[in-house]
Amino acid sequence: MKYKTPGVICCLIAGASLFQYCSKSGSSGTVTGTGSTLTASATPQLPAAAFNYSNLPLPSHILACLATDDNTPATNPVTNDGATLGRVLFYDKSLSKNNSVSCGSCHRPDLSFSDSAIKSKGFEGGVTARHSMALLNTRFYRSGKMFWDERANSLEEQVLMPIQNSVEMGMTLTELETKVAGISYYPALFQKAFGSSNINSDRISKALAQFVRSIITYQSKYDLVKQGQASFTADERDGETLFLTAGNVTCAGCHAPPMFLTSSPQAPFALADPTDAGINNQHRFKSGSLRNIANTAPYFHNGSVPSLTAMLGAAGTAPIPQHTVAPQDRQKLLAFLQTLTDVTTIADVKYSDPFRQ
Ligand code: HEC
Ligand code: HEC
């Protein structure tokens, strides 16, 4: 098969042996917008010394992937103070026109930064066109292209789009800059993150991107097994073998370990959807990391598949014929997919809502 994006280079260096390679190794005030007027959140609770976002103790199988697939631009490396500012912005409802939603409303930490709703609710109660995406291991999508249809060229470009989206947060960039500059706790956070208290949309974009890039799962059972610190059950092991080898295009051929990202979103593997043409109008869709997939239902770009068992064809036919797995193999594949869940990362206080502590 052809790999169209360079996103899995780390897993392709040595062709099939890649898999061995990888496994070896609140606003202070009240703001009036259109619609309802809400009082924005109180001051965020932050630690005296910033949490560690920039230097996570990543195991070697993840570091090897980071070395080749990282989409971090040289102009915006993750720093502890930058990601701290990004965390506050991410959970601040002041970033929406009427102070009713934050990024975290549609990307909930307890749901691996996705949403259990099929379509998410925006600031005036309207719903998004597609299902929310989990924000895990975003940094490892080599091309850096974001959204189900890859319409944003980078994470820095992407993070300002929901703020300006008329359904999601409803602001202009000028309104955003003025509003954030008027909130008491921001100047000091910008000062720490960027060396001066100037507030502009470029810095807001950089800080949000740093926070999103800092969210990496590396503490799942799968990761412990790869480090020789745990072992798979028989079903989990058989499930991994199926994932790596079954089918003429294997699951791993697209959802390449260790980050399980779609390398080559192909039309036949997308969920048939006459209302949505996807990437370049070719009926193709990106899939984010399959890590924590058991925690991010419902599935696919339109959220129409309610569970992993449904996606594997429990009802007789899989919603995507090309994703179909033989009945006797489903339980094994499911067991393997569940080993990808890392609850430690999503419960980590450094990724949590600082307005809620
Ligand atoms: C009202 C709900 C909602 C809000 C608020 C929201 N998002 Fe999203 N987010 C979504 C949906 C829905 C998608 C998928 C949209 C699409 O592909 O067309 C998405 C996609 C993304 C992606 C793409 C992930 C990938 O792997 O391609 C990122 C990154 C993201 N959002 C970050 C943010 C940030 C940062 C904020 C706050 C500034 C935010 N979102 C606010 C619903 C929301
Ligand atoms: C040719 C590439 C390809 C192959 C092979 C492939 N997938 Fe996918 N997968 C995709 C694409 C593309 C999507 C997103 C489709 C959409 O949303 O319409 C996806 C979506 C998924 C999702 C839902 C992700 C989400 O966030 O909603 C799961 C789970 C999944 N695949 C598992 C598997 C399993 C298990 C296999 C092997 C049986 C497999 N895939 C084989 C490309 C592939």
- 104 in a structural domain: yes
Would residue 78 count as lying in a domain?
yes
Ligand 1 neighbour 208 (Cβ under 6 A): yes
Nearest CA to 212 out of 260, 141, 149, 117 is that of 141
The structural domain count of the chain equals 1
Cα 221 to middle of ligand 2, angstroms: 21
**Do 8 and 261 meet the contact criterion of CB atoms below 8 Å apart?**
yes
Q: Which residues pair with 114 in a beta bridge?
A: 108
Low-confidence ranges of the chain (pLDDT < 70): 1-41, 357
What is the separation, in whole angstroms, between the first and last Cα of the chain? Answer: 49
Decide: 25 and 64 in contact? Cβ < 8 Å: yes
Residue at 175: amino acid letter: E
- The answer to whether the CB of 251 is under 6 A from ligand 2 is yes
Residue 81: domain span: 29-41+73-216
Residue 264's pLDDT is 77
Q: What is the pLDDT of residue 314?
A: 72
Counting ligand 2 atoms within 8 A of each CB, the residue from 111, 236, 269, 333 with the most, and so the one to mutate, is 269
Residue 269, pLDDT score: 81
Break the chain down into helix, strand, coil percent, rounded to 5.
Answer: 40, 5, 55
> Does any ligand 2 atom lie closer than 6 A to the CB of residue 239?
no
295 CB less than 6 Å from ligand 2? no
Q: Are 50 and 80 in contact (CB under 8 A)?
A: yes
The verdict on residue 239 lying in a domain is no
* Residue whose CA is at the smallest distance from ligand 1 atom 40: 103
CA-closest residue to ligand 2 atom 37 = 251
pLDDT computed for residue 247 by the predictor? 75
Atom in ligand 1 nearest the alpha carbon of residue 141? 26
Ligand 2 centroid to 262 CA: how many Å? Answer: 7
The domain that holds 200 is classified in CATH as 1.10.760.10
Which SS3 state, helix, strand or coil, does residue 8 take?
helix
309 is a domain residue: no
What pLDDT was estimated at residue 262? 84
For residue 236, the model assigns a pLDDT of: 98
Q: To 5 degrees, how large is the angle CA 233–CA 235–CA 240?
A: 95
Amino acid 6: pLDDT? 39
Q: Classify residue 334: in a domain, yes or no.
A: no
pLDDT at res. 12: 40
123 found inside a domain: yes
Residue 91 CA: distances (Å) to CA of 38, 103, 172, 211, 264: 15, 6, 18, 11, 32
What is the sign, positive or negative, of the torsion defined by CA atoms of 288, 290, 296, 302?
A: positive
Strands (E) located in 157-212 = none
Report which of 83, 147, 135 is spatially closest to residue 107, judged by C-alpha positions: 135
* Bridge partner residues of 31 (DSSP): 38
Supply the DSSP symbol for 267: G
Asked whether residue 107 is domain-assigned, the answer is yes
Question: With a threshold of 0.85, does the pTM exceed it?
Answer: yes
Q: For position 4, what pLDDT does the model report?
A: 36
Cβ 114 under 6 angstroms from ligand 1: no
Residue 80 to residues 86, 88, 247, 309, 356, Cα–Cα distance (Å): 10, 13, 43, 39, 20
Taking the centre of ligand 1 as the mean of its atom positions, its distance from the CA of residue 353, in whole angstroms, is: 17
Q: To which residue do tokens 């929901």 refer?
A: 162
Choose the residue to mutate in 88, 105, 128 for probing ligand 1, maximizing ligand atoms within 8 Å of C-beta: 128
Exposed e or buried b per residue across 198-228, where buried means at least 16 C-beta atoms within 10 angstroms of its C-beta:
ebebbbbbbbbbbbbbbbbbbbbbbbbbbee
Q: Which pLDDT belongs to residue 219? A: 98
CA of 131: how far to CAs of 40, 147, 247, 276, 280, in Å? 26, 10, 28, 12, 19
Q: Ligand 2 centre and the CA of 285: distance in Å?
A: 9
C-alpha of residue 256 to centroid of ligand 2, in Å: 11
Between the CA of 124 and the centroid of ligand 2 the distance, in Å, is 32
The rounded Å distance from CA 271 to ligand 2 centre is 9
User: Residue 36 has what pLDDT?
Assistant: 43
- Return the amino acid letter for 223: D
In a domain, 54, yes or no: no
Residue 39 DSSP one-character state: E
